Amino acid sequence: MDRERKEFLEKEAKRIRYLTVDCIGSLGEGHIGGSLSIADVLAVLYNGVMNVDPENPKMEGRDQLVCSKGHAGPAVYATLASRGFFPEEWLHTLNQPHTLLPSHCDKNRTPGVDMTTGSLGQGISVAMGMAAGQKLKGSEGRVYVILGDGESQEGQVWEAIMFANQYHLDNLTVLLDYNKQQIDGTVDEVVTLGDPKERYAAFGFDVQEVDGHDVEAIENALLAAKEVVGKPQLIVLHTVKGKGVSIVQNAAFNHYMTFTKEQVSSMLAELSE
């Protein structure tokens, strides 16, 4: 990757963080930690890796994203707004009555959202069906799933990956947001994932592992995943919950936070530096 592209992607990721904070900040509360941890992968996916068209969000044969950890909706909305799927002003309507941007992703409301999620475990299951459907139709479209690490404690996640293996869903890439934190503790102290790479490899997946805040490493992994034939893929993204915004990153509890207007201004100022 040349320096220009790296700088471009880093700028996009920062913009996504800015718009995520702006979105959650307009309501004064929200799922900030798990939204900020996926900003970098979203920046890479929506700026060259995924075949999508903001002018035609339902384009036949497009690549689709399922944000299985649906509580990170604000980061998805920030990304879609930044790419022009809808006006950035919509971000100020998060979770308000009649909004098109509910707190969790809803494909029936938001242009560019490909699957409704929020009940943890279900997104990845549905993504398997979407990927199988693309294959049956002979479509080139790929399906990307952003999966939480705490979410991975749901039994239905493992049913889904068994299915993906048996049906050779090589058009499916699972992106594990391995921030090691869930609502009220670390994943290891609640129910550990052990080494997710080993587990997914045992389930027949192609596996890679990268720093989930390194846009170059993320893009290389995504491009390599596209080339895999006959196997679904896992990319473990080592991330930090609340990444990039000091008061969130350093908070003891950053799953869902409430903010004063002054805190929102200071977070936005930090992201404007």
Q: Binding residues for Mg ion, per CB under 5 A?
A: 148-150, 179, 181
76 in helix, strand or coil?
A: helix
Interface residue with ligand TPP among 241, 242, 243, 271 (CB under 6 A) is 241
32's tokens: 């900030």
H or E element in which residue 188 lies: helix 187-191
With CA atoms as reference, report the closest residue to 163 among 141, 135, 182: 135
Identify the residue among 22, 149, 206, 214 touching ligand TPP (CB under 6 A): 149
One of 59, 162, 183, 202 touching ligand TPP (CB under 6 A)? 183
- 118 vs 204, which CB is nearer to Mg ion? 118
Q: According to CB under 6 A, which one of 179, 205, 206, 236 is a site residue for ligand TPP? A: 179
- Among the listed residues 25, 30, 34, 212, the single contact to ligand TPP using CB under 6 A: 34
**125 binds ligand TPP, rule: CB under 6 A:** no
Instruction: Pick the binder of ligand TPP from 120, 143, 221, 271 (CB under 6 A).
Output: 120
Beta strand spans in 13-152 (E): 29-30, 64-67, 143-148
Minimal distance, residue 121 CB to Mg ion, in Å:
14
- With contacts defined by CB under 6 A, name the span among 2-10, 163-171, 174-182, 216-224 that binds ligand TPP: 174-182
Binding of residue 151 to ligand TPP (CB under 6 A): yes
Distance from CA of residue 184 to its chain's centroid? 20
Query: Which of 76-113 are b and which e, b meaning 16 or more Cβ less than 10 Å from the residue's Cβ?
Result: bbbbbbbbebbeeebbebbbeeebebbbbbbbeebebb
Can you give the length of the chain in residues?
Answer: 273
Judged by beta carbon distances under 5 to 8 A according to partner kind, the member of ligand TPP, Mg ion, none in contact with residue 69 is: ligand TPP
